[in-house]
Amino acid sequence: MTPPRSAPPHAKALALSLLATAVIAALSLWFVSAAILPEMLAERAISPMRQALLSSGVQIGFVAGALASAVLGLPDRLHPGRLFALCAALAGAINATLIVVPVGSGAAIAARIATGALLAGVYPVGMKIAVGWGLRDRGFLVGILVGAVTIGSAVPHLFALGGGTDWRLTVSLASLAALVAAVLALFVGLGPHHATARRFDPTVVGEAWRNRRIRLAFLGYFGHMWELYAMWTWAGAALGASFATLMPEADALFGARLLTFLAVALGGIGCIAGGYVADRIGKETVAIIALAGSLASAVFCAFAFGGPPVIVAAAFLFWGLTIAPDSPQFSALVADFAAPRHAGSIMTLQTALGFALTFVTVQATPVLAGLLGWQAMILLLAAGPALGLVAMVRLRRLMRSQEDG
């Protein structure tokens, strides 16, 4: 086995800085449709089902793209930086077609699905590059990458603030950012621990089910994903509806967009901080703390809905801070528990199933909010971290008992 090659001390910081910036820029494509939805609705009526599909279509595409990439072994055959660059550039170009296709049409939904599929060549490939730069600090490295994903997911709401009523400017800015990401990715170096990823192995389904520690980590991740993308996608709509009860509609929309950006971006900061702490106190402990905070925040947001804007804003900001730091730790835990030859495939399975679940919650959220109200819908989202918290507490007990034994 070839020993890891050495790298200049500054090379790691430079590579991770370029990578994080590229991920932030490329992931600005994910929530474009959610950020500009009010302006699109003002231009043309879109059914609730199509509104949801404009956002959940990205999840559909991502799941399909991630599985296809793993089965075909694309990261094995192509340089990961070049693969990242190609996918980011194509995703930006396809996103730009939203400017010319009919608003809310089947073509627009298809563009969102294709964008999601291409982002599967950005997020997982970025993760692969990041972990190649370290062993003992991988919790922190994964935290940086997921933090960049989180901040990037917030960016379209900032673009929407700058674009004002011109939603096409927001689309253009996100597409341009993806092209910038493609250029940056070409200059990201590979770390001394970089290795080829394994192709998906169907037999890992059995290992993931038989290994109780992996099974519990999966359940924790599913509870996390139940709320995460539904909150990120529809926080702006929920905040806007809450603020509109006490302030003019234009002010409510501006405040909702600004706070959505801040809430999601805070999650990125939480991911980085959580990754740093996880390497010291345990990945499962960080996940438990984040899930408990997210559960409490969601419940408080539900009961505060429609109340004083300052209280609602503070509740959503804390929810945004606590909803994401556990995300990288679930992947790191699975990598710890799985057989080395199956780790990549099991993480692929975990990610694919988790994002498939988000399709259900993102699609159902606006429909159920219309039927039950936003307060009830937010409480339904809180069921996710509650389930995840139970699973992770059980996992920690299992890990402690095995250490004692």
Q: What does the pLDDT look like over 162-185, one tens digit per residue?
A: 776 789 999 999 999 999 999 999
Q: What is the mean pLDDT of residues 381-399?
A: 96
Which pLDDT value is given to residue 11?
86
Are 352 and 63 in contact by the 8 Å Cβ rule? The answer is yes
How far does Cα 281 stand from its chain's mean position? 24
The band of 1, judged by pLDDT with boundaries at 50, 70 and 90, is: very low
b/e code 177-195 from CB counts within 10 Å (16+ = b)? bbbbbbebbeebbbbeeee
Which pLDDT value is given to residue 17?
92
Q: Taking the domains of the chain in order of start, what are their residue ranges? A: 10-195, 206-400
Q: What is the DSSP-derived secondary structure letter of residue 99?
A: G
Q: How many helices (H) and strands (E) does the chain have?
A: 18, 0
Mean pLDDT of the chain: 88
Q: What does the pLDDT look like over 205-219, one tens digit per residue?
A: 787 888 999 999 999
- Whole-angstrom distance, CA of residue 124 vs CA of residue 147: 13
Q: What does the pLDDT look like over 124-168, one tens digit per residue?
A: 888 878 877 776 777 788 888 888 998 998 899 889 887 767 899
Least confident of 63-72, 257-266, 285-294: 63-72
Query: Does the pLDDT at position 49 exceed 80?
Result: yes
For every residue of 197-233, DSSP letters joined together read PPPP-TTHHHHHHH-HHHHHHHHHHHHHHHHHHHHHH
CATH number, domain 206-400, options 1.20.1250.20, 3.40.50.300, 1.10.3720.10, 1.10.260.40: 1.20.1250.20
Find, among 334, 345, 347, the residue nearest to 73 by Cα: 345
Instruction: Give the whole-number percent of the chain exceeding pLDDT 90.
Output: 52
CATH number, domain 10-195, options 3.30.70.360, 1.20.1250.20, 3.40.50.970, 3.30.450.40: 1.20.1250.20
Tell me whether domains 10-195 and 206-400 share a fold. yes
